[in-house]
Amino acid sequence: MTRCKEVPKAFFKDYGGILHTDGYVAYEKDIGTEKLIHACCLAHSRRKFIGAIKVQTKAHAADPKLERVVALMDELFAIDREAREQKLSLGDRHALRQEHRFIPESGTDGQHLNRPPNDLASRIHRTPPERQWNR
């Protein structure tokens, strides 16, 4: 097998489930059926943000929002670490994630990235479970 686009295109041509990838360009388009859900790896995404922070730091043009995104990702990883340490079942792991979830208010246009990291905790339990992203 190679990592050229034709291999995953042929391999997943009839697949309509969730495809979890590292963000490699070959998986971006024309893979699977219309029902396929492409789930990118958060750890790989985090590395891209770390790389952008390094570049901006060298250019003396740091953007605190990039660091905030990494901090939010680290908070998500901490929830999963807690679930692993407690050896939670999939259902209990999902419940833990829901307990700690954060949904930005609609129309904030990324403004939640300006908050200090500890402000996230004050928002976690105020978000009603039925809230929709696109309201």
Residue 120: is its pLDDT beyond 60? no
Amino acid identity, position 15: Y
The lowest-confidence range among 22-26, 42-46, 111-115 is 111-115
Query: Which residues, listed in sequence order, are joined to residue 37 by a DSSP beta bridge?
Result: 18
d(C-alpha 135, C-alpha 114), whole Å: 22
- Give the model's pLDDT for residue 65: 87
Confidence of residue 53 (pLDDT cuts 50, 70, 90): very high
Cα-based distances in Å from 109 to 8, 54, 71, 76, 83: 35, 25, 18, 21, 31
Residues 6+ apart with CB under 8 A from 50: 70
Confidence band (pLDDT; 50, 70, 90) for 52? very high
Assign 54 a pLDDT band (cuts: 50, 70, 90): very high
pLDDT in the model for residue 128? 39
The mean of the pLDDT values for the chain is 78
Residues in a beta bridge with 46: none
Q: What is the pLDDT of residues 4-29, one digit of tens each?
A: 888 888 889 999 999 888 878 778 78
The residue with greater pLDDT, 11 or 134, is 11
